[in-house]
Structures are given as C-alpha cells and as structure tokens.
Structure 1
Amino acid sequence: MQTHQLLSKARQHYGITPPFCSEPRMNRTDLIKRMAQLSELPQATCRSFLEQLQATISQALHEGETVYVPKLGVFEIRHHLPRSGRNPQTGATIQIPMRTLPAFKPATQLKDALK
C-alpha cells in the first residue's frame, strides 16, 4: 500500500490529519513573522537576519566548507558520481553527469524534538 493511501486511511479512521503529514507549510514570510513574534524584534530585522544566514551558508558551501549549527544540524555538500540511467519515455540509455548538491543533516536535538 502506498504512503498516500495509508495517510488517507488514517485521516478517515481518526478524523484528523496526523502531525507528520499536515498540509499547512510555513513559508518564508510565515517564518519571518514567527521569528519576529518570538524574538520581539521588527520583521525587517528578522528578514535581514534570515537573508544573511542564507547568504553566509551559501557562500561557505560554495567554498567547500561544512557549516555546523549546534542543536540544528549540519549543512554540507554531497557529490553524486556520474552514472548511467534510462530515459523513461524512450528506454534509451543516457549518461547522468556528476552533480554537487547541498545537503542538510539534522542534529540529534532537532530529531528528538519531533518525537
């Protein structure tokens, strides 16, 4: 049985949406509002902080550094080697090039907070 079918059955059985599959998402604006509310700082200050955090992490990853934020997790670069694959429409073998992607590994404290 597929995941969405299990979630649908859980919703029907319990009459609620389980917390691990809730549809509402926090977007950037919501995050800034929540940060401002909790820190009692203006939204402009929180927006600036978030932009600087993103820029700093991006630059560090671009330079090949790993960024460790205690109690949050580790931002790092992962290298995916080239491999062969298949075009699903034609079935032809294609070469998938090497990719370098950012990755996030949550800290134990963050994982424990979700239990």
Structure 2
Amino acid sequence: MNKTELIDAMAADAGITKAAAKKALESFLGSIEKTLKKGDKVSLVGFGSWSVSKRAAREGRNPQTGKTIKIAAKKVVKFKAGAELGKAVN
C-alpha cells in the first residue's frame, strides 16, 4: 500500500473526503517527524513506537574494489511494533 492508497482507505473508513484524509495523514506524519527531530520517542499503545538511535562511525568495504572506507556516524529511526499489531499480523 502506498500513500495514495492509504489516503483512499482512510477516507473510506472514516467517511471523510480524500483531501481531509490527506491533511490528517500529513499532520500525523509531520508530528512524528518533529518529535523525533527533538530526540523524543513516539508511542502508540498497541500499535508500536518510534525512536531515534545513534549509529557510531565505522569502517566498511567498497564491494566493487574491496577498499576500506569510513562510514560516518548518523542517527537512525527505529520502529518497534506493539503487541496488538504483532498479534493482528500473525
């Protein structure tokens, strides 16, 4: 399912227009992004949680040449599924 299909499904399920569903989805995603940028965690009980983790700098290898390269440190977003979501999928 892509973003357009999700908006269509949200509009149909909630009985709202596609424009309203798009605005709601973009607001939801924007709020998550702002919270993660601050370094905070977002939790939706039963669904899951998003958090930011730091990945240390490390050495890697270029697969084409075999030459050692330096990979810079960076922050990564992690998602952990909640128990209810896990049960619904299984």
Give the TM bin, normalised by the shorter chain. Answer: over 0.9
TM-score, length-scaled by structure 2: 0.95
Moved over 6 A (4+): none
Structure 2 residue runs of 5 or longer lacking an equivalent are none
Alpha-carbon separation, structure 1, partners of 2:61 and 2:16: 52
Q: Specify the code of the residue in structure 2 equivalent to 1:96.
A: I
Query: Out of 35, 48, 51, which is 1:73 matched to?
Result: 48
Alpha-carbon separation, structure 2, partners of 1:50 and 1:71: 19
Q: Specify the code of the residue in structure 2 equivalent to 1:40.
A: G
Q: Does 1:45 align with 2:20?
A: yes
TM-score, length-scaled by structure 1: 0.75
2:62 paired residue number: 87
Alpha-carbon separation, structure 2, partners of 1:62 and 1:99: 13
How many residues align structurally?
90
DSSP 3-state at the match of 1:64:
coil
**Residue deviations 1:3-61, cap 9 Å, x none?**
xxxxxxxxxxxxxxxxxxxxxxx111110111111111111111100000111000000
For residues 19-58 of structure 1, the aligned pairs below 5 Å read 26-58=1-33
**% identical equivalent positions:** 33
Query: Out of 73, 77, 98, which is 2:73 matched to?
Result: 98
Cα RMSD (Å) of the superposition? Answer: 0.8
